[in-house]
Structure 1
């Protein structure tokens, strides 16, 4: 079994880089105007390795300063959201858990808007700090509400926590709308509402300095706790019987998931269903062992969000859709399929 696990890790070690590179090249080449992949590679060679391929300045600017930066941010955000979904589904033993459905994204949005628009913290708090505080508050509130409602087992427990998440998300969305109506002018309100739907249009290289470390943090924490995640799939009592410090591990993993979600929301807004759909798809392909599920989900989340961003740019000619619209169009049917599958198993 150990030999098989080592071979699997080695396979991921050489599969992931070319797949991710191909997705980044596709995300850079495909858009409102198509740019040949050869031109993208020439620009990368010029910028990264000092080559001197002749490339038009306008093409170089579009590729390097706009599309490639946007693709990198999309990949990091997709990986981070998928890993947050893996963590929440394992810890809560709930197939329907993800940052969007549990209200964590909504809480992060409220915290970010409270800091930037309403001026909470009097300038002492950053956007990411406000988003992190809102995400943690939302998770604590949803968990407390689900506990007070009685929970249950199986599909009943899943339904209770999803209902609690919906209630929390609606509350924080209402608070966000109130803060916007009270403190933002018309121009700010339009920009914030578009951002709340998930928006990568403003993604630049400085955003990657936040998005990439956030995804790396999520991946590192998950890989460090793969055995704990495996144990939690059988319940907290089983994890404790295996010698795992349940409270400490829960605090670290939930804190990491909330922080990653908050950082992503502070950059690109609330993007839904990535953390729900990707872990389920990867479980179907690689199984439930987190040693394989974690890197597979990170890679698939990155590729999925790059693909969704491409679709958002080309679906309607001359117009860029919020990326949250695309993920919802894919995620909502997947959510229904998961519900039906759970009912059939019961």
Structure 2
């Protein structure tokens, strides 16, 4: 018994060391990715001008005439920071959803949450002319309302009959997601003009082109609060992976925890979709890859997943902006092109190792 305890302690320390190294490497990678994202773009800006613009922005000085302050400080810097925030949020949401359904390949789309948020946001754009939004609601509020609508429908169906299971939750999420996606496509067809239709379709595939300093505060606060809430339930999340009965035996209120996770993921997804559109695959791949490095303990997994998600989306957004000379790619297209082969490769290696 003592030997088993010592071995378990050794594995825990090893995982902790790996998590520390992963956090340090990802932190450095995130800083490098942010610098590259600010320095590079379709408009050529000398490196000296980039640093001057950032320095003036940090001091709160007015843009100097004839400089590149507008491109660097008003466009590139908030876009790079928003990419990091959204990527971190998607990593957290994916980790929480995978614990919720006990499936390492689940993501917010599987539960219909992203579909609901997209429906609310598209309704605000198409029916509200993209300004005040539908019935006076802003884009963020509409996306959040759509996510909560989806949450309520999926939760009601999953709890129907008094029982509850991850399989029922997934099936309800897939069904509701497809149902709401149908309404979204209908609203796209109802768009007032061709330019608006193109803009909505581009946004649905994921875009950070609308990033502004004013749009950073809400998603950043939501991601930080989401991380703190999930870290506070890290041990309960670990217990849930062992099954509902085992978790209940360890003192976890499974139904209450699952409800809390569903609310957190709905809120985060609604906020993220409202500022970035529907960016797929990040929430699916990031926790899966991080789990291979630092293990499944959520106290370590959650911060690493947030960092890796931030790095990934900053790099992906940079590629989307610079891959083609005169055209910007939707971020979701790049995540699918990069992520799908990567995940298939990782899955193949994992199956080979048994």
TM norm. shorter chain > 0.5: yes
Asked whether 1:123 is paired with 2:132, we answer no
Question: Residues 86, 137 of structure 1: CA spacing in aligned structure 2 closer, same or farther, 3 A cutoff?
Answer: same
Partner of 1:92: 101
Q: Which residue of 2 aligns with 1:208?
A: 216
Structure 2, unmatched stretches of 5+, are 1-8
Greater shift in the superposed pair: 322-331 or 128-137: 128-137
Deviates more, 1:227-236 or 1:244-253: 244-253
Write out aligned runs for 1:66-145 (5 A): 66-118=75-127, 123-139=135-151, 141-142=153-154
TM-superposed deviation, 1:335: 4.9
How much does 1:187 deviate? 3.0
Q: 1:5 to 1:324 in 2, by over 3 A?
A: closer
Distance 1:229 1:63 in 2: 41
Do the aligned partners of residues 234 and 315 (structure 1) sit closer, same or farther apart at CA in structure 2, a change above 3 Å counting?
same
8 Å CA contact 1:29, 1:40 repeated in 2? yes
Q: Tell me if structure 1 keeps the 8 A contact 2:191–2:197.
A: no
Correspondence for 2:259 = 251
Larger mean CA deviation between 317-326 and 167-176 belongs to 167-176
Which secondary structure does the structure 2 equivalent of 1:319 belong to? coil
Match of 1:25 among 35, 41, 58: 35
Any idea what the Cα deviations from partners look like across 1:240-294, whole Å, max 9, x if unmatched? 2121222222222211111111111111110000000110111111111111110
Structure 1 CA distance for aligned equivalents of residues 255 and 174 of structure 2: 26
Q: Does structure 2 retain, via aligned residues, the 8 Å contact 1:274–1:301?
A: yes
C-alpha displacement of 1:71: 0.4
TM-score (norm 2): 0.82
Mark the CA change 1:310 to 1:45 in structure 2 (over 3 Å): closer, same or farther. same
RMSD: 3.6
SS in 2 for 1:123: helix
Query: Cα gap change, 1:117/1:63 in structure 2, threshold over 3 Å: closer, same or farther?
Result: same
324, 331, 334: which is aligned to 1:323? 331
The equivalent of 1:43 in structure 2 is: 53
Distance 1:325 1:7, change over 3 A: closer
Given that 1:25 and 1:40 are in contact with CA atoms closer than 8 Å, whether structure 2 keeps it comes out as no
C-alpha deviation, 1:61, in angstroms: 2.0
**Aligned position for 2:3:** none
**Cα contact 2:15–2:295 (8 A) shared by 1:** no
**In structure 1, C-alpha distance between the alignment counterparts of 2:143 and 2:169, rounded to whole Å:** 22
- For the Cα contact (< 8 Å) 2:113–2:266, is it kept in 1? yes
Deviation per CA, 1:122-168: give whole Å up to 9, x if none: 625443233223223334545666788xx999xxx77x876665544
